[in-house]
Chain A
Amino acid sequence: AQRVTQPEKLLSVFKGAPVELKCNYSYSGSPELFWYVQYSRQRLQLLLRHISRESIKGFTADLNKGETSFHLKKPFAQEEDSAMYYCALKNAGGTSYGKLTFGQGTILTVHP
């Protein structure tokens, strides 16, 4: 069965420091991975997806199939990055196209 693990429930850094939110997955097929973010009092929204290979708000994430990881990184954290971050895996096969499996989430707090 597919699974997504975010080992850190809470992560605190100071403004300007690098930040890395960890995500590991298990999936028998070819995974499609995402990072979603939920800012305070806002709805869950897509931050980035691995197939796009893009950088959003300074964040990047590289899929490492050997280590089955998809860690989210930002070289210089900002206070406005404080939010809940979810790593998610999409089931791309069978009748469950689009079904997402989420990790438990990591609350990132960036201190001034």
Chain B
Amino acid sequence: GIQVEQSPPDLILQEGANSTLRCNFSDSVNNLQWFHQNPWGQLINLFYIPSGTKQNGRLSATTVATERYSLLYISSSQTTDSGVYFCAVKTSYDKVIFGPGTSLSVIP
């Protein structure tokens, strides 16, 4: 089956710093989502981005489907950005495959 990898696994940032999270997938996908899991466990939708680039405030994402990767950019990080970021892809069978996540800690 399709494999989803994320890097880095862990990241510690000073407040105000920028970062790039990467998601690689091993096969063609129908869509791709980025989620943020907050400390209470809720998965928050960040982007639905099967291809192209989207921006939402300090966050933006780019997916290059032909090269099988997606990037999530966080600019001017804040402590509330802490948590785990998941990339999830969906194949033609409607099953979502999650990556292992990147654990982000933003320190004041």
Partners in one complex: no
Question: Which B residues are closer than 8 A to A by beta carbons?
Answer: none
